[in-house]
Amino acid sequence: MDKIIICGGNKLKGEVTISGAKNSALPILFSTLLTDEPVTITNVPPLADINTTVSFLNFIGKTVVKKGNTITARTLDKHKQYKHTAPYDLVRKIRASVLIMGPLLARLKRVDMSLPGGCAIGARPIDIHLNAFKKLGAEISVEGGYVKTFTKDRLQGAVINFRFPSVGATENILLAAVLAKGKTTINNAAREPEIGDLANVLNKMGGKITGAGTNKIAIDGVDKLYGFTHEVIPDRIEAATYIIAAAITKGEVILKKVIPQHLKFVTDKLIKCGLFIKETENTILAKWVKNLKPQSIKTEVYPGFPTDIQAQWMALMCLISGHTYIQENVFENRFLHVAELQRFGADITIDGKTVDIKGVEKFSGAPVMVSDLRAGAALVLAGLAADGKTTVSRIYHLDRGYAVFEKKLKKLGAKIKRIHNK
Ligand code: EPZ
């Protein structure tokens, strides 16, 4: 398996162009099942998860083709029918596969999906999705590791109250209710920018969705959806990762093709730490100008501090003198990077869902192993700041969510390379 080798100590300097958002491109890809007309999606990030989803859609019967950062689907052949079964070997590869349910329920009135199973950061249940589908009129049974969902008639609009503002469940219900009969209201909906991007696509297709980005979304069901062209929004998590990379290496980085508002909570916190940040409409300059001060955080749903930046934030706080507390409130097991950061010399104590970090002078390079996508990013950032050599293994996790990570970092002056191991 490939590894990344880093010789730490270089200050990052230069410009980086942020790629399209993985967590927006994925639900938009699933939305293509809702129309038989041609679609074009641009600014798609070159990621493993995108390739997996493209193969998944082709397995289901939707021919989508990826050329560079553009994905197209042509008119569906008249006689062609989608498969209604999503097998384990496809579903287990990425969590977003659960988004197959909404579109297939809407189009085929049935979907048999292998239970996705958990992942490194948690059990990742789908009860909120399933309870909402029941509200729309679906019958659900679990047999032989599959969740079988079926509706005799067309889905029926309903009022749905989420016990937790799940991002995936909000997306799944948008993908189902957009073609339901009547009106659906989602109360306590997720407010992430990726929800807004998906709603924009569905409205371009002829959907009638209002309130996306707020905690109350209204969907007036329509009978048919049409083709669309759409440019995916920039990846706010990738952007925040590069800003933290500038901070941890005491460098100066300009991010291009970014929407500053989408990562405001993180940049506000970094300004409180003492990082210099200057924003324009679509760029962010991040510059280390003085020793940073610790800033404790609690992860929250959007617009709070994103859980997907928790690990990267931890890496940074480990090298800032003083005490920092980080509380993880979204996932139940998202501290797998603690043990790996301790291998660099970090002083971290875990107490339930909170960690207590005591800043240390420096990190020493070490061999470390990636457990999940964002933990991997944190370990690379730590390696960039560490004295000496760091070897990062299991970097296939990184390839899922960071487009050409080591190439972009190398362009910013990092001494980093990927070695291909058979
Ligand atoms: C999305 O996951 C993102 N993935 C995650 O990004 C992100 O961390 C997460 O939202 C939170 O922002 C994609 O968009 C593909 P949730 P999702 O449903 O939809 C619990 C990354 O690094 N829950 O909001 O799965 C769940 O277990 C990934 O890019 C239920 O209990 O997140 C978790 O604890 C990691 N029942 C919490 O809610 C449900 O039915 C948040 O889950 C659904 C969720």
In angstroms, the CA 339 to CA 350 distance is 10
**7 is annotated as an active-site residue:** no
Atom of ligand 1 nearest to the CA of 122: 27
Residues with CB under 6 A from ligand 1: 22-23, 26, 95-96, 122, 124-129, 164, 166-169, 190, 307-308, 330-331, 373-374, 401
Asked if pLDDT for residue 343 goes beyond 90, the answer is yes
Nearest CA, atom 37, ligand 1: 330
Amino acid at 393: S
Note the pLDDT tens digit of each residue in 377-387: 999 999 999 99
Ligand 1 center from residue 122 Cα (angstroms): 9
Residue 358 Cα distances to 282, 344, 345, angstroms: 35, 14, 11
**Which one of 93, 97, 124 would you pick to mutate in the ligand 1 pocket, going by the greatest count of ligand atoms within 8 A of its CB?**
124
In angstroms, the CA 78 to CA 177 distance is 24
Asked if pLDDT for residue 411 goes beyond 70, the answer is yes
**Three-state DSSP class for 208?**
strand
Full-prediction pTM beyond 0.75?
Answer: yes
Asked if pLDDT for residue 281 goes beyond 90, the answer is yes
Bin 26: left if φ > 0, else alpha if -120 < ψ < 50, else beta. alpha
H/E segment holding residue 406: helix 405-411
Nearest CA, atom 17, ligand 1: 168
Can you list the domains of the chain with their CATH numbers?
3-19+234-419 (3.65.10.10), 22-231 (3.65.10.10)
Residue 238 Cα distances to 155, 243, 245, 352, 398, angstroms: 37, 9, 11, 28, 11
Asked if pLDDT for residue 295 goes beyond 90, the answer is yes
Nearest CA, atom 35, ligand 1: 308
Please tell me the predicted confidence (pLDDT) of residue 120. Answer: 74
Average pLDDT, whole number, for the chain? 95
Asked if pLDDT for residue 422 goes beyond 70, the answer is no
Note the pLDDT tens digit of each residue in 224-238: 999 999 999 999 999
Nearest CA, atom 39, ligand 1: 126
Mean pLDDT of 75-89: 83
Note the pLDDT tens digit of each residue in 302-338: 999 999 999 999 999 999 999 999 999 999 889 999 9
Atom of ligand 1 nearest to the CA of 331: 34
In angstroms, the CA 411 to CA 406 distance is 9
